[in-house]
């Protein structure tokens, strides 16, 4: 398929309609992606693509911000979802599929001796922190400066609208990859710390993503253990794109709990918290629930997703694909006189144009979007198993034209 420049008239019309009935028209993280020239609503999706209301096709490098790991509408996943849904969705008692999924996670994930379920990543991170507080009898949470864990008030910056300072009164922020800062915090004799929560590597917005320094995590987990502090890995974004046993395995350490979400059910709403045996009793005591938490079809979809990911050794494929994509994009950039930096794990790369203003970077991304490659300037991208070699050709050609247009 050739790259042409798209118009998004119908999306714009719908956006005008949306503004009348939805505050801001589009809210949350989707709001940040609303740009004049970009698509705002989809009409359908399949594999590595979605189509907007004007019927423009996009190679989707955002994958719904992570959930689409096998590609949209994966037949086995959709079949599992449908056959479960035919039997019932949210029923007054739980479905055995919940037990089967918990067993699957306990078998698959290195540290998992038990699993609990919610809907969004933020359910899992909030639950993890509550369990850590219950387990330790302590209240403070150490997190990375701009590490994102969801929208619960304790996770948000105190200056954000609707948030008050006391919401994060017990949150201590430290810099990523800075073991000495963690040591300093702990050496101040503060013995009221319940947990350290962090993603396995740093994937902030609008900045290069950064992998853990050699030995960082080993030192962190060992120091936390000495102080009786639980370590929680927020694998909501990176889960299943680095290592199916938990991303921590790739970085050689063992946390007490891991939060999963996004890709776990290939787009069906589900999140999970898994943990070690010692914490089981505390997990049992914490009250955590939601009307939709027991919905069976997303759990059936998750089992099908995890089976499929195991069958094809997904992380390796995604990482290899990402490496190829990154090097092809870097080559196109250099051919056109730009220096494109890709950072983070290659199955979810963040791109930046070295030596250019952020405005130029945004413009380059916008020009790629106009040519049928859905990307964002501020967020890392995601690869799915539906992305093919021919999609790299298409992306490369859009990127080349986008550079030419700058």
Cα 191 from chain centre = 32
Only segment of 40-48, 50-58, 147-155, 170-178 that touches ligand PMP (CB under 6 A): 147-155
Give CA–CA dist 5/28, Å, rounded: 28
Question: Interface with ligand PMP includes 125 (CB under 6 A)?
Answer: yes
Is 122 among the residues that bind ligand PMP (CB under 6 A)? yes
Element (H, E) at 218: helix 216-226
By CB under 6 A, is residue 202 in contact with ligand PMP? Answer: no
3-state SS, one letter per residue, for 73-141: CCHHHHHHHHHHHHHCCCCCCCCHHHHHHHHHHHHHCCCCCEEEEECCHHHHHHHHHHHHHHHHCCCEE
- Minimum distance, C-beta of residue 390 to ligand PMP, in the bound complex (Å): 29
239 binds ligand PMP (CB under 6 A): no
The stretch among 49-57, 102-110, 142-150, 244-252 that binds ligand PMP (CB under 6 A) is 142-150
Q: How many residues contact ligand PMP, by CB under 6 A? A: 12
| 344 interacts with ligand PMP by CB under 6 A | no
Strands 230-234 and 257-260: parallel
Of positions 38, 121, 239, 372, contacts ligand PMP by CB under 6 A: 121
Nearer to ligand PMP, 122 or 372 (CB): 122
199 touching ligand PMP, by CB under 6 A: yes
Q: Does 204 bind ligand PMP (CB under 6 A)?
A: no
379 binds ligand PMP (CB under 6 A): no
The residue count of the chain comes to: 406
| Nearest-approach distance from CB 377 to ligand PMP, in angstroms | 16
237 binds ligand PMP (CB under 6 A): yes
* CB 167, min distance to ligand PMP, A: 17
Query: Site for ligand PMP (CB under 6 A): which residue of 69, 236, 365, 383?
Result: 236
C-alpha–C-alpha distance, residues 9 and 107, integer Å = 49
By the rule CB under 6 A, 156 interacts with ligand PMP: no
CB of 24: closest distance to ligand PMP in angstroms?
Answer: 17
Query: Which tokens sit at 349?
Result: 């790369």
Q: State which residue, 76 or 208, has the beta carbon closest to ligand PMP.
A: 208
148 lies in the binding site for ligand PMP (CB under 6 A): yes
Residue of 138, 140, 149, 241 interacting with ligand PMP (CB under 6 A): 149
Which is closer to ligand PMP, CB of 133 or CB of 262?
Answer: 262
Distances (CA, A) of 377 to 34, 346, 351: 12, 16, 8
**Does 38 help bind ligand PMP (rule: CB under 6 A)?**
no
**Binding status of residue 150 toward ligand PMP by CB under 6 A:** yes
Return the residue nearest ligand PMP (CB atom). 121
240-279 residues in contact with ligand PMP (CB under 6 A) are 261
- Closest distance between ligand PMP and the C-beta of residue 376, in Å? 12
- Give the Cα separation of 90 and 101 in Å (integer): 16
Is residue 218 within 8 Å of 187, Cβ to Cβ?
Answer: no
The H-or-E segment that residue 306 falls in is helix 296-311
What are the CB-based long-range contacts (under 8 Å, 24+) for 350-358? Answer: 350/203, 350/207, 350/208, 350/209, 350/379, 350/380, 350/381, 351/375, 351/381, 352/208, 358/206
Distance CA 365, CA 376 (A): 6
Contacting residues toward ligand PMP, per CB under 6 A: 120-122, 125, 148-150, 199, 234, 236-237, 261
């Amino acid at each position: 398929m050739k790259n042409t420049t798209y118009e998004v008239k119908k999306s714009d019309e719908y956006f005008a309609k949306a503004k009348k009935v939805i505050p801001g028209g589009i809210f949350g993280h989707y709001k940040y992606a609303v740009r004049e020239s970009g698509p705002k609503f989809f009409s359908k999706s399949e594999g590595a693509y979605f189509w907007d209301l004007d019927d423009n096709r996009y190679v989707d490098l955002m994958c719904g911000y992570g959930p689409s790991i096998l590609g949209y509408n994966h037949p086995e996943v959709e079949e599992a979802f449908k056959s479960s849904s035919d039997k019932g969705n949210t029923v007054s008692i739980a479905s055995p599929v919940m037990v089967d999924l918990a067993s699957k996670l306990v078998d698959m994930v290195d540290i998992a001796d038990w699993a609990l379920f919610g809907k969004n990543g933020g359910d899992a991170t909030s639950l993890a922190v509550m369990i850590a507080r219950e387990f330790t009898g302590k209240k403070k949470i150490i997190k990375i400066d701009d590490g994102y864990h969801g929208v619960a008030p304790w996770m948000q910056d105190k200056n954000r609208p609707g948030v008050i300072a006391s919401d994060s009164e017990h949150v201590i922020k430290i810099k990523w990859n800075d073991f000495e800062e963690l040591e300093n915090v702990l050496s101040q004799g503060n013995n009221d710390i319940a947990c350290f929560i962090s993603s396995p590597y740093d994937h902030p917005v609008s900045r290069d993503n950064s992998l853990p320094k050699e030995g960082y995590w080993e030192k962190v987990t060992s120091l936390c253990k000495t102080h009786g502090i639980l370590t929680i890995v927020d694998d909501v974004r990176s889960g299943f794109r680095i290592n199916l046993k938990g991303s921590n395995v790739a970085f050689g350490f063992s946390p007490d709990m891991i939060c999963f979400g996004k890709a776990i059910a290939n787009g069906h709403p589900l999140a999970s918290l898994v943990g070690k045996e010692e914490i089981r009793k505390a997990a049992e005591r914490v009250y955590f629930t939601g009307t939709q938490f027991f919905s069976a079809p997303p759990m059936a979809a998750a089992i099908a997703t995890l089976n499929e990911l195991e069958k094809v050794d997904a992380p390796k494929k995604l990482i290899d694909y990402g490496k190829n994509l990154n090097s092809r994009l870097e080559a196109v950039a250099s051919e056109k006189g730009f220096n494109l930096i890709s950072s983070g794990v290659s199955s979810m790369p963040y791109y930046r144009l070295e030596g250019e203003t952020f405005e130029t970077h945004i413009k380059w991304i916008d020009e790629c979007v106009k040519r049928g490659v859905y990307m964002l300037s501020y967020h890392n991208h995601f690869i799915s198993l539906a992305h093919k070699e021919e999609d790299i050709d298409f992306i490369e050609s859009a990127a080349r034209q986008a550079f030419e247009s700058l």
